[in-house]
Amino acid sequence: MESKYVLMHKNTEVAEVFINEMIGGISKIGDVINADHLPPGTAKKGNADHRALNEWWTGRSIPASRSGLKNALDNLGISNARSFLTKSYGLSLSDHYWIKPAGTSLAWDDMNFFENDFSEDIGNILFGGVVSENMSFISPDNTSDGWLKKRWKISDGKRILLKAGSDPFEQEPFNEVIASALMKRLNVPHVSYEIVWIDDSPYSVCENFLSTETELVSAHRIMQITPKPNHQNSYEHFLNCCVIAGMKKSDVIAFIDRMLTVDYIIANQDRHFNNFGFIRNAETLEYISPAPVYDSGTSLFYNKPVKRIENYESKPFRTDPEEQLKLITSFDWFDASELNDFTNEVGEILYPLMETGFIDYVRIKKIKDIIAARIDHIAELAAG
């Protein structure tokens, strides 16, 4: 079954799209109404590229790797999560794109999740709840990415994201807090995380850093703006795409320097190109700044027993952490004195995990030693 929609960017009509309701993909594209507002990297010679636009659209859905998704789909009698997208009009709390059924008068002001309430039914099911009788799919949980169990809620008018950890150590939420504390000391713009416990399990909590005026554009989307020449590596191509998008190269480099430094200290294994990005104005399309650093939980050897903690592969530009470190152009901003007692703070952050039996003192000491050694190495590079 194929249905016609209008792809919207806030209040701007962008293009007519036809969506196969069974598989949740864009089967064809009709008239392009405003090519400038197509999602970054989906335009080709002033028109919409069907393959790129469909990749962008299906990429909005909950990934198949999400913890708890299979049980949720089985309970709902639905074959794949992409079919959730049309049920919630493709609305998100990350950007201002959505789809309007052709011929309807739906309006952004009445639909968007930044200002309007949304259902918690999908979040409840993803967290192991049961299907309610009057199930509502109007939820930003349909367009959240990542493999860890997560959900959006409204608390005191604020949109907050809860994200779980994973077996056996449930360490990811605490890693988020450690990364936040590190970046606060180093004055690196970041998303702040806290810990809440629900049914004896820890979750990280953060507030949405976007608004009705701003949206997130991932580094992955930026890198689709133009094809990568064979002579360029991914780092050079990324900088080139940022410049084409209208960003100041020196600002982008300064941001990457800080992000890669933080990722090195916490041994981040998952800083892929969808895990950082830039904030832009959804109406003027002007890029405002790099997004604050977020989503740093898959770090500090989160799933490895102490005796198996060893080398890891880094992302996004180099798989060897030491080689990626060489991309950093300056440590002038790095003040090692701000981190003098940081490992003590790390121990305090991790202590509740030891108290509840998820980890032991040996693991905490190992993590503190790893962080201390990496801070010393950065300090040596900065001094040199």
CA end-to-end distance (rounded Å), the chain: 64
- pTM comes to 0.95
User: What was the pLDDT predicted at 266?
Assistant: 98
Q: How would you label 262-298 residue by residue, b for 16+ Cβ within 10 Å and e otherwise?
A: bbbbbbbbbbebbbbbbbbebeebebeebbbbbbbbb
Q: Rounded CA gap, 358 and 63, in Å?
A: 27
Element (H, E) at 301: none
Q: Rounded CA gap, 202 and 107, in Å?
A: 38
Element (H, E) at 277: strand 277-281
User: What was the pLDDT predicted at 134?
Assistant: 83
Residuewise pLDDT in 10s, the chain (384 residues): 799 999 999 999 999 999 998 888 999 999 999 999 999 999 988 899 999 999 999 999 988 888 777 777 777 777 777 888 998 999 999 999 999 999 999 999 999 999 999 999 888 888 888 777 788 889 999 999 888 899 999 999 999 999 999 999 999 999 999 999 999 999 999 999 999 999 999 999 999 999 999 999 999 999 999 999 999 999 999 999 999 999 999 999 999 999 999 999 999 999 999 999 999 999 999 999 999 999 999 999 999 999 999 899 999 999 999 999 999 999 999 999 999 999 999 999 999 999 999 999 999 999 999 999 999 999 999 998
Cβ atoms 148, 332 nearer than 8 A: no
CATH says 214-383 is which class?
mainly alpha
Question: How many CB atoms within 10 Å of residue 339?
Answer: 20
Q: Where are the domains of the chain?
A: 1-117, 214-383
DSSP 101-115: ETT----HHHH-TTT
User: What was the pLDDT predicted at 330?
Assistant: 97
Residue 135, helix vs strand vs coil:
coil
User: What was the pLDDT predicted at 125?
Assistant: 84
User: What was the pLDDT predicted at 49?
Assistant: 95
User: What was the pLDDT predicted at 76?
Assistant: 76
Q: How would you label 170-182 residue by residue, b for 16+ Cβ within 10 Å and e otherwise?
A: bbbbbbbbbbbbb
Angle at 65 between CA 61 and CA 68, to 5 degrees: 90
